[in-house]
Amino acid sequence: MIKHRLRGELNRWHSLRLRTLVVMLLLCLDTGILKAQPSEFMEIAPGIYLRPGIQQNFASHNRGHIANIGFIVGKQAVAVIDTGSSYQEGLTLRRAIREITALPIQYVILTHMHPDHTLGAAAFDQDAPVYIGHAQLKDALIRRQTHYLDRLKEVLGSTTEGTRLVLPSAGVEVGRAVRLELGDRILELQAYPTAHTNNDLSVYDRNSGTLWLSDLLFVERIPVVDGSLLGWLGVIDYLDQSEAKRVVPGHGPVVTEWKASLADQRRYLDALLSGIRGIVRQNGTIEQAIEQVGQEEKDNWLLFDEYHGRNVTASFVELEWE
């Protein structure tokens, strides 16, 4: 089932890629710049550009380019969605925007606190944009800034010079969606109660019916629980009502059959929930839960070994208070 569906997604992925390559090639010819490597950016819907993240762990060989990042172009302005994990990655994103449009970069939307999404933000300071995120993003970043910057230096070393934390200048409250006007294009920003983190934000583009969920949805790559397991399951129920035509996950390919991807994610999180509840009821320990819970999901996800134990640990300390 899953494999079959995956193949469908991959086909779509490839056809999108092909279209993008052609677009990029034409662009290159048009501007007279022919680079050794084609840009990694693809247009997934009219005016919506995505740089797919590499489905790997944060490491020097992928320069931290692991998250899906991109931008949306209106008639008057551009909004960036997530900025990558370093100043350099942010600059690459900015260059890609400038290859496509000279319109002002008015908004930089940060979908949540994680460093692979937020640490490239300083590259846009020259545009003086509104940095906007969940109302709790600022506090979450302040609490983690030293750790994030230290880890970045550890993994990527001096290649990340210039990287610093940018705190959002505007916040979106849960239950109070914010609209950004880009010129004949309205983006709806929605903040969620604690799920993947305590500061998740989605972006909906009405024109194309594209819902940029970022890390509220992981496709192919194992979801990471860094907020609340129960909260996330609640948010999944809510998202299931959406009628979006396509969804951009934080990691993994853009999906049009996205409810199936959402269901995959729910199945994994449900396995954590029921497995850990059983062990908590028997006064079991985190170590037992790591060994026993959710192992049947192992072959369904990339990076399972790297993140599953961590998910069990984080969920265990949440569920033992039920």
Partner 1 sequence: MTTVSNLKHNKVVRKIVQISYLTFLFGSLMITTLSAAETDGRWHEIKTSLFGDRAIKDGEDVIGLETPYRALDAAVVPISIESKITQNQNNYIKSLYLVIDNNPSPIAAVFHFPGKHNWQSLSTRVRVNAYTDLRVIAEINDGNIYMVNNYVKASGGCSAPSLKDPAAAAAHLGKIKLKLPKASNLGDLLSTQLLIKHPNSSGLQFDQISRQYIPANFIRSIQVTFNDEVVFTADSDISISEDPSIHFGFSPEEEGILKVEVKDSTGRTFNHSVDLPNQEKG
Residues lying near partner 1 in the complex (CB under 8 A) are found at 57-58, 114-116, 136, 138-140, 142-148, 150, 155, 165, 167, 194, 197-198, 224, 226-228, 281, 283, 285-287, 290, 306-307, 309-310, 312-314, 317, 320-321
* Closest CB to partner 1 among residues 26, 130: 130
Minimum gap (Å) between residue 34 Cβ and partner 1:
36
Cα–Cα distances (Å) from 147 to 116, 185, 320, in that order, read 13, 37, 27
Residue 58 DSSP symbol: S
214's CB contacts (< 8 A; 6+ apart) are: 68, 81, 82, 111, 112, 117, 200, 201, 202, 203, 248, 249, 250
CB atoms within 10 A of CB 147: 10
* Closest CB to partner 1 among residues 9, 116: 116
* Closest CB to partner 1 among residues 78, 108: 108
* Closest CB to partner 1 among residues 136, 265: 136
As a whole number of angstroms, the distance between CA 232 and CA 19 comes to 34
Minimum gap (Å) between residue 47 Cβ and partner 1:
30
Minimum gap (Å) between residue 172 Cβ and partner 1:
16
Minimum gap (Å) between residue 223 Cβ and partner 1:
13
As a whole number of angstroms, the distance between CA 267 and CA 219 comes to 13
Minimum gap (Å) between residue 205 Cβ and partner 1:
26
* Closest CB to partner 1 among residues 2, 317: 317
Q: Which amino acid is at 32?
A: G
As a whole number of angstroms, the distance between CA 109 and CA 130 comes to 8
